[in-house]
Structure 1
């Protein structure tokens, strides 16, 4: 047996003594701490606990922020996926030569999509609604593209847009002044609800207007408006009163500036003094230029829209179909007396979606009616080649520092009258005196 050196034996004994020495107890450590004065106080313990709680709170907030960012990323990815799927379905429905999916693809789709019990009536309704929606969208896009092409491109083979059909025509303009929704006039102006009506008879000439006007959106294209007569309409015990107005004004046909890309007529007459509603100082029409705007519809293009079924008819059909479906769902909801039921919750969700669809369809129908108005909403010229909208808006210009504002004054009504020269009027007067 080999002998162990003496210094190794001393080293082993030293290690064994330190390894197996008994640890001091908690009480002994507390006594030592008390003797040394290092025992933490209650205030220090409370401070440490608060610091730990604050650190854990900050860590929790950081984790919540990271989780919210992950949820936002997930929502964006899901939205992009649904948009890609919807675009794929629309392109497939619009392509007539699309090939049918193979049996392998159908099998994979069945594996990915969970089976659900969908009623046949719901499938039929959804398919009919989607087809109607698709048809309306196609018509809307075709009309929008045609309007953009006619607005942004120069006509080559087609006839140019006629903007001179109002030349040498006479119109009666009835200004109905009063407080309207959205006006920027003072709060007390027209607060009583009274109205001020005055009439202007004007000839729309073909002479160019050399006066610049910001309301016309450009200095070119303006023409002279000759005022023939102006008076306040009789009201109550107040008879007809003349209006002091300058003999010349201006008008311009602006292409593509109306609703849905329609043409509008902008005009103005200049009052030499303010007009008050009888003895009421609350309602008045300020002195200066009074501006009016109305729609401009050449009858050649308007008749073309009437001959061919367009966007308005498709929107009207879709609106009435969605309205019937909404009324049926609403009646079913009222008849269902259950308070908490899964089917009723699904029906409420369907009713809400149908209401949103009805609102969107009504908005598109309103836009289509603005582009293709009814005959009752138009006033034809004496030649019958152009029509203006029956009603229009009236405003005035207000300067506020460097800013320029147009405040709504009310509305106006238009009507075409015959242009008669002074010789014809003299002959009528002579025949009236000496029949």
Structure 2
């Protein structure tokens, strides 16, 4: 079997379990597919050519409390309604996302995550985001420094057991779709999360 290179520019330097400051909660490779999706509120010209921008990025959920700026960037639409939510913690990322089978790359930086539905012991929802330096491909673009938002079910109150089903990728933009001018969530693609160990064995990096 192919072995993951320890010097890969797309590798995530994992925090060690038992560290005084950080503890591994779960590490994953995200397989992200950006492009126009049915029902999106993105500008009609965005992705109209049906181009797709695919990349992988390695992430790790940590137990480090997020900075104030990261907390402020965390989506708040799903708060309330009696649902219990965790504090916001730091999401660690590899420094580069891998595009076009390694012939292109996109710098990324850490974000944050939150668990919603803390009172449900069988299933919660993890909502997280990361930041990128952006990428342009014709009429398809990822805006620089604008967070990309993700969410998936987490089973058994365990971040090491995320759903393997496809999830939604979204951005936040100002608009009128909700009836008044406010920041909206707009779908920009889909993704899957695979445990990092499994992904490295499969992908060879």
TM-score range, shorter chain: 0.5 to 0.7
Please state if 1:171 is matched with 2:28. Answer: yes
Structure (1 or 2) with the larger CA radius of gyration? 1
Gapped regions of structure 1 (runs ≥ 5): 1-165, 301-379, 420-435
**Larger strand percent:** 2
Candidates 225, 245, 265, aligned match of 2:108 = 245
> 1: distance between equivalents of 2:103 and 2:119?
36
SS state at 2:115 partner: strand
Q: What are the ranges of 5 or more consecutive residues in structure 2 without an aligned counterpart?
A: 1-22, 80-84, 199-205
Alpha-carbon offset, residue 294 of structure 1: 1.0
Match of 2:39 among 182, 190, 200: 182
**How far does the alpha carbon of each residue in 1:40-86 deviate from its partner, in whole angstroms, 9 at most, with x for none?**
xxxxxxxxxxxxxxxxxxxxxxxxxxxxxxxxxxxxxxxxxxxxxxx
Which residue of 156, 160, 168 maps to 1:393? 168
One of 124, 140, 157 as aligned partner of 1:263: 124
Match of 1:414 in 2: 193
Aligned to 1:295: 153
Change in CA separation of 1:257 and 1:214 when aligned onto 2, cut-off 3 Å: farther
Matched position secondary structure for 1:215:
coil
For 1:265 and 1:173, the matched residues in 2 are separated by 14
Partner residue in 1 for 2:5 = none
Across the aligned residues of Structure 1 and Structure 2, the Cα RMSD in angstroms comes to 3.1
What is the rounded CA distance, in whole Å, between the counterparts of 2:132 and 2:39 in structure 1? 24
TM superposition shift of 1:296: 1.2
Q: Which has the higher helix share?
A: 1
Q: Is the 8 A contact 2:74 2:128 kept in 1?
A: no
Q: How does 1:361-400 map to 2 (within 5 A)?
A: 381=160, 386-400=161-175
**In 2, are the aligned partners of 1:202 and 1:229 still within 8 Å (CA)?**
no
Shift of 1:167: 4.6
Q: Is the 8 A contact 1:199 1:230 kept in 2?
A: no
Deviation (angstroms), 1:222: 1.1
In structure 2, the residue corresponding to 1:244 is in which secondary structure? strand
Contact 1:295–1:392 under 8 Å retained in 2? no
- Tell me how far apart the structure 1 counterparts of residues 164 and 150 of structure 2 sit (CA, whole Å): 12
Question: 1:158-211 CA distances to partner (integer Å, 9 max, x unpaired)?
Answer: xxxxxxxx9532110121001111101111211222210111111111111133
Task: Provide the secondary structure at the position in 2 that maps to 1:412.
Answer: strand
Partner of 2:61: 204
Measured at CA, do residues 256 and 223 of structure 1 come closer, stay the same or move farther in structure 2, by a change above 3 Å? closer
Matched, 1:230 2:9: no
Contact 1:198 1:230 in 2 (8 A): no
Contact 2:36 2:188 in 1 (8 A): yes
Alpha-carbon distance in 2 for matches of 1:407, 1:197: 18
Q: Deviations over 1:82-141 (max 9, x none)?
A: xxxxxxxxxxxxxxxxxxxxxxxxxxxxxxxxxxxxxxxxxxxxxxxxxxxxxxxxxxxx
- State the structure with bigger RCO (CA 8 A, min sep 6), 1 or 2: 2
User: 2: distance between equivalents of 1:289 and 1:276?
Assistant: 16
> TM-score, normalised on structure 1?
0.33
> What's the CA shift for 1:257?
11
Q: Count matched residues.
A: 161
